[in-house]
Each structure stands twice: as C-alpha cells, then as structure tokens.
Copies of this chain bind each other. A is one copy, B any other.
Amino acid sequence: MKFNSLDQNHLKNLQAMVARDRFSTGDSVLDLHAKDQSQHPARRPEAVAWPVDRSEVAAILRYANAHRIPITGWGSGSSLEGNPIPVQKGIVLDFSQMNRILNIRAEDFQADVEPGVIYQDLNEKLRHTGLFFPPDPGARATVGGMIANNASGTRTVYYGSTKDYVLRLEVVLANGEIIELGTRAAKTSSGYDLIHLMVGSEGTLGVVVGATLRLVGFPVEYSAAIATFPSVAAASKAVFEIIRSGLNPAALELLGPECIELMNREEQLGLNVSPTLFVEFHSSTAGHLVEILDMGREICNEQGCTEFRSGLGKAERDHIFKARHALGEMIIRTHPDCGTLVVDVAVPNTAYPEMIALIGEEMNATGIMGYTFGHAGDGNVHFNIPGKKGDEKQWAQIDKLVQRLVSKALDLGGTATGEHGVGLGKKKYMTAEHGKSLDWMKQIKALFDPNGILNPGKIFP
C-alpha cells in the first residue's frame, strides 16, 4: 500500500472538517500521539484530530480514503503492543472529546456510550444503579480502545472479555460510510455477526464511534484471598486445580516473588515475598461465599500453600488490585534505561503449569530476567522482560526467548495474545497461529478497507 503525506492543501481541507482547536500539527501534540505503553519505537503522526461526532469522523475518513492517508484511532494510548502507533504516519483520530455516556438504561442492563469514555468513569457513573461493565484492563483505557483490542483483565475468568459485552456498534468504515450493527435484545440469530468481527480488529476494519454495552449486576457479596506458595510451580498447579474444581473465581491472578517484591516496595503491601495467588469470589449471599472460600483454601493447601489469608476487607482488596493493575508501570519505572517486552500468551488450563515451568527454565538457561504474572484463571501468562535500550545483542536474545515461549504456547493449543492484541509485536506469530485462515482475514481487510488506510502496519505480518 502506498500512502500520501499531508500537504498544505490536505491540512487545510482536513482542518475545515473539525473546529480549528480540534486539529493540530503541533510538535507536542504529535509527540503525545506517537507511542503507547509498549517498548515499540515512537512514530509521530502528521496531524491529530479530535472529532466530536460521527459525521466528523465520516468526513475525515471519506477524505483520507480518497487521498490514501492513513487513519489511526486513539483512545488513551494505554495499549501494550504498539496497537495505536501511527507507523505509517497520517492522521490520528483522538476520541477523548467523544467521551459522553449517552444513556444508561439500567432496567435493560445496558449503556450507550461514545468510544472515548474511560471504563472506570463509566463504572463510577453506574455505581448508583448497582450495575457495572466488567472488563477491566487496568489502565485508564477507553471503551473504544477496549473494543478495538477485545480487552480483558482480572475479572475475565468469571465475566468474560469485552467481546461478551458489546450489543450494538456504530462504525465508520474506511469509505466514510456509517453502519449500525447489532440489537438491543439480549440475544439474536439474525444475519452475520459483524460486531464480533469488529471487536478485536484493532481499528483495521472500521472506526467505532458508538457502542451499546451490556452491564451486569454488581455482586452483593465478594471476598478476596491471598495464597502464598513455596514455588511458582505449586502456585500454577493450584490455579489448575481451582479452575478444574468449578469454583468459578471472579479473579485468579498469579504473581511471581519478583512481582510481590516490587509491589511491596511501591505500594507497601507487606506481603510475603513468595509466589502468590490473588483470588476473588463473587456471590449473591455471604454464606455461599464462606463455603467457596473454604473450598479454595483446601485446594491451595493441598498444593503446599504456606499461607492462605482470606477475609480481606474492601480497602485491602482494592489496594491489592490497584497494585496489581499498576504492576506493568512499576516494572517500567524500575528499569528506567530499559524497554519492556511483554509476553501475553494464553494456554488451556491443563497446560498452564507447563507454560509457567518453561519460563523458569528459560530464565535459568539464558540468564535473562523477567517478571512472571498473569490472569492465571484464563490461562493468560504475562512475562515482562526489561531489555537495555539500544543493546541489540540483548534484544536479539530476548526476542529469541520470546519466540520459544510463543511457539510453546501455540504447540500447547494456545494463542500468541490473550488480551493485548497483535499490534506490532505479535504480527510475526500470526501465520503460525492462524495458518490459512490468516489469508481470509486479509481478504476481509481488503473488502472493508481496500486502500488499507485504517491503522496500517498492524496485525498482518
């Protein structure tokens, strides 16, 4: 695909499509839209626009499509795989001014939102209704970004991913056409499911300008526990057993001792520096919760758990999950001269202990150090590896190690990316993961975006 740069004429025309103060080519603005939270190199767009409604988005896309100008959507820049880095330059559409919660229909368990809404703000607004939007990637992510990446998080083991919460979408296609997908009914068997095609497509098939989200009732009762283990192997075996038991935890997070150490230091958690599981259960009655927690304790003890601390109060639980959500950033801060490569594989439950064991073996064999954690209940493994910026030899070693881990995950029936999306960093694994179906993904891309203007350079190797 050949793209055109923005000349003065383009800039004049594009600027006229939004208000003057919502279009910028200023250096600081371009810098702020040049990279996400990943280690991928920054790349500045040529201009940033802040649309306020779908007709502005449609006008810009129509123009960009006619003139072969790349368009990359921008939520809050919190993604972890370079997903919104405008590697082919062009225009970044920043959705921070399309951040209205349009309608909360509590009795239908639904909310209509614009793509720039931060999901925590939505949940804050929903608080008085007793409902919430469960996916929780942690960072202050926008709903639009979460839809683009099919984001998930600590609660996904129980509540599912973003894809499970999108009932309707308004999408602007590459040609500027606006389509509306889905229904407000709780279920449908009507025609092809284009919503799920859009969710997780990382802005390469269309630009989401509105969504109806499904909400669920906030659990009446919830309780968290911290389980400490003598080894990561024992902790990962306990994960397997908890999932196998059908206890349905609402969160089941694994943390290596190096992660606990960091979280203790930065958030004063005061936890034992050992491999640890954070477990949370939700229920509608307190009695039920006590029973589940007891069963969870028993399973952990069978795997050699050295301490199982349940009955955490709300403040302590919130503190722990806040620290857990901040862990990625803590790792980056701790290694200021490093970039951090983030492994995001997910494997079937039975393969989880093996996957975790391989990480340990690789660290021993290569001397490369990383942080092991993840949404263990989903089989999702994160392994964050700090590598010295500019040290090409080290990065080549890290890259090879990660390739071995991803290959193993695929061999075990898993996926190269459980929740961060393909972006830039996981492109090279797509052929191995998808085989011939990748060609069909490419053909769908060509159908929806024949000029390839939408977030070019992502997903496809």
Residue in B217, B285, B348 whose CB lies within 8 Å of A110: B348
Spot the interface stretch: A21-29, A382-390, A441-449: A441-449
Bound Cα distance A404, B436 (Å): 45
Establish whether residues A379 and B186, one from each chain, have CB atoms under 8 Å apart when the complex forms. Answer: yes
Minimum CB distance partner of A148 in chain B: B189
**Given known contacts A415-B185, A422-B189, A177 and B350 CB-to-CB distance under 8 angstroms:** no
Bound Cα distance A243, B149 (Å): 30
- A288, CB-defined interface residue at 8 Å: yes
- A138, CB-defined interface residue at 8 Å: no
Contact with B along A323-363 (1 / 0, CB 8 A): 00000000000000000000001111110000000000000
Contacts of A201 in B (CB 8 A): 192
Q: Give, as a whole number of angstroms, the nearest-CB distance from A195 to chain B.
A: 8
- A420, CB-defined interface residue at 8 Å: yes
Q: Count A-side interface residues using an 8 Å CB cutoff.
A: 93
- A115, CB-defined interface residue at 8 Å: no
Residue in B185, B346, B445, B447 whose CB lies within 8 Å of A185: B346
Contacts of A443 in B (CB 8 A): 447
Bound Cα distance A171, B351 (Å): 26
Residue in A178, A199, A247, A418 whose Cβ sees the most chain B Cβ within 10 Å:
A418
Q: Give, as a whole number of angstroms, the nearest-CB distance from A6 to chain B.
A: 29
Establish whether residues B348 and A185, one from each chain, have CB atoms under 8 Å apart when the complex forms. Answer: yes
Establish whether residues B199 and A187, one from each chain, have CB atoms under 8 Å apart when the complex forms. Answer: no
Contacts of A151 in B (CB 8 A): 189
Q: Give, as a whole number of angstroms, the nearest-CB distance from A127 to chain B.
A: 15
Contact with B along A422-436 (1 / 0, CB 8 A): 100010001001111
Bound Cα distance A244, B107 (Å): 6
Q: Give, as a whole number of angstroms, the nearest-CB distance from A175 to chain B.
A: 11
- A101, CB-defined interface residue at 8 Å: no
Residue in B161, B188, B345, B444 whose CB lies within 8 Å of A444: B444
Residue in A285, A443, A445, A459 whose Cβ sees the most chain B Cβ within 10 Å:
A285
Contacts of A447 in B (CB 8 A): 443-444, 447
Contacts of A444 in B (CB 8 A): 192, 444, 447
Bound Cα distance A243, B148 (Å): 30
- A196, CB-defined interface residue at 8 Å: yes
Bound Cα distance A243, B110 (Å): 13
Establish whether residues B186 and A108, one from each chain, have CB atoms under 8 Å apart when the complex forms. Answer: no
Q: What are the 6 A-B residue pairs with the smallest beta carbon separation, nearest first?
A: A217-B246, A196-B196, A184-B413, A185-B346, A188-B415, A288-B288
| Listed A/B pairs (27) with beta-carbon separation below 8 Å | A105-B350, A107-B240, A108-B349, A150-B188, A150-B189, A152-B187, A163-B193, A164-B164, A180-B435, A181-B434, A183-B415, A185-B348, A186-B346, A187-B380, A187-B419, A188-B415, A189-B200, A189-B418, A190-B416, A190-B421, A190-B430, A190-B433, A193-B197, A194-B197, A194-B437, A197-B197, A217-B248
